[in-house]
Chains A and B, each alone.
Chain A
Amino acid sequence: MVHSEKQRSTLRIYIDIVTAVKDLHTAKPTHILNKANLSHDRLVKFLDQLLAHGLIEEKVEGESRYYEVTTKGIQFLIEMQRADEFVAGFGMAL
């Protein structure tokens, strides 16, 4: 679920971007920013951080650039779903 940007934590933004990349399979930046509900500048900043953490990987084909989720990214999403379910039990959200 994509939350409104005003309420979203940095962690939630990471989750939304990695989820968007996973859902789109080969995700172009324009599609990710639409799906994750982010401005271009913020998306670039977060994509760099996610690449640095190895949660997504960048692929370049000719002039087009797209992203794919890594195994570590999938593990991250699994762990975050568990964390979300746990903390929701006590009324919290990631």
Chain B
Amino acid sequence: MLLLLALDIISAIVAYPISYYSFKFNKLVGSPALKAICVGFALLGTGLLVEGLTTFITDATVVNGLLAKSLVADAGLLFLALQLLAYFIFAWGYAIEIFGSSKAPFDKLSEPGTLLPVGILASTFGAYYDIALLAYLLMVALLAFIVFEAVLVYSRNRRKSALIVLLGFGVILGSHVLMLDSVAALTQVTFYEGTLAQFVGFAMLLWFLVRSGRFGSF
């Protein structure tokens, strides 16, 4: 569990600086997409911290929580809600940049109340398993869309930084497929593999961040 905590916390530590730099550079660019990335990574970082701390304190992952239908499942659904919201915001932000309109594909989804937090659904219906499964399924779908958008970005600008972001999100997509499989089959080992893969994805985003910081020497 200590390893899972470490992986989640390191991933969160990567997410927060990306959020900060998006905020900082948004002052220069003034882009809604960068604002979305800022908010998205802040939520993702918070979600990962909640996940890591819950796992550490309760000595159980969301899969254990689902098996026991315990409080862990509630906390697990909270971070799933945060992550789901974060990936939705990324997908939206990317779409603004790529498709050139803040309304285009998300007119209805962006209306308040349309995207209900998974936690609220959980407390209403108590169907932890179905909701966790649905949350992971939605995250996989959103991440697949984000990866598709990242492919479009890279095919347009051919910048190495865009390629690293694409690879990062690609690996995070793979990690969520593993986590989906783990939740569906309630297998703990696959969940560990998914968490490890997610960490690798965040490590790639860290590489992107460090690389950007190294730029600019005369």
A contacts, CB < 8 Å to B? 11, 22, 74, 77-94
Contacts and interface: CB of A to CB of B under 8 A. Distances in A.
The 8 closest A-B pairs by CB, nearest first: A78-B216, A91-B153, A81-B216, A89-B161, A86-B212, A89-B165, A85-B212, A88-B159
Nearest to A88: B159
Given A11-B28, A94-B28, A88 B162 contact: yes
Interface range, B side? 20 to 34
B88 interface: no
A85 B28 CA distance: 13
A50 to B, nearest CB: 16
B217 interface: yes
A79 B28 CA distance: 11
Contact of A91 (B162, B211, B215, B217): B162
A89 B212 contact: yes
B31 A85 contact: no
Interface string B192-218: 000000000000000011011101111
Interface in B85-108: 93-94, 97-98
Given A11-B28, A83-B28, A94-B28, A89 B208 contact: yes
Contact of B162 (A22, A80, A89): A89
Nearest to B154: A91
Given A91-B156, A92-B29, A85 B161 contact: yes
A90 B216 contact: no
Given A81-B216, A85-B211, A91 B98 contact: yes
Contacts of A74: 218
A83 B157 contact: no
B29 A87 contact: yes
A22 to B, nearest CB: 7
A4 to B, nearest CB: 16
A84 B161 CA distance: 10
Given A92-B31, A92-B34, A81 B165 contact: no
Contact of A88 (B37, B157, B216): B157
